[in-house]
Amino acid sequence: MNIRVYYEDTDCGNVVYYANYLRYFERARTEFLRAKGVDFSHWMQAGLLFTVAEVNARYVAPAVYDDLLTVTTCVTDVRKVRFGLQHEILRASDGAVLVTGGTTMACVKDGKPARIPTTIIDALTPPN
């Protein structure tokens, strides 16, 4: 997905504030899962929530105001109650890698770990 850097995303040095990259991961993750047919609003109504259990980021180069960024997301692993995603943020104009990172999502119900529904596991697991 593409994301434009707005003034509100930057710090006093005119570069993207480091925590905003996590927001970009979030947007890309949501759109990636939506494209896979995973409708979180449906599962929320059923009492299942998907929460970030772990996040990491490696900052390689800065993005600045008005850059167009491309954020890619892919599945790294799927388990019974959690799944991992890898993210990469590139500057669209030159393909430079700016940030790499990952998130681990945990399925919870009533505040406790819960099994991920089979339909979601199937959507996230590549065919053999």
Cβ-based neighbour number of residue 93 at 10 Å: 10
* Residue of 11, 66, 77, 122 with catalytic role: 11
Amino acid in the structure at residue 11:
D
CA 63 to mean position of chain CA atoms: 18
Which residue, 100, 91, 62, is CA-closest to 2?
Answer: 91
Active site residue 11: yes
What amino acid positions are annotated as catalytic residues?
A: 11
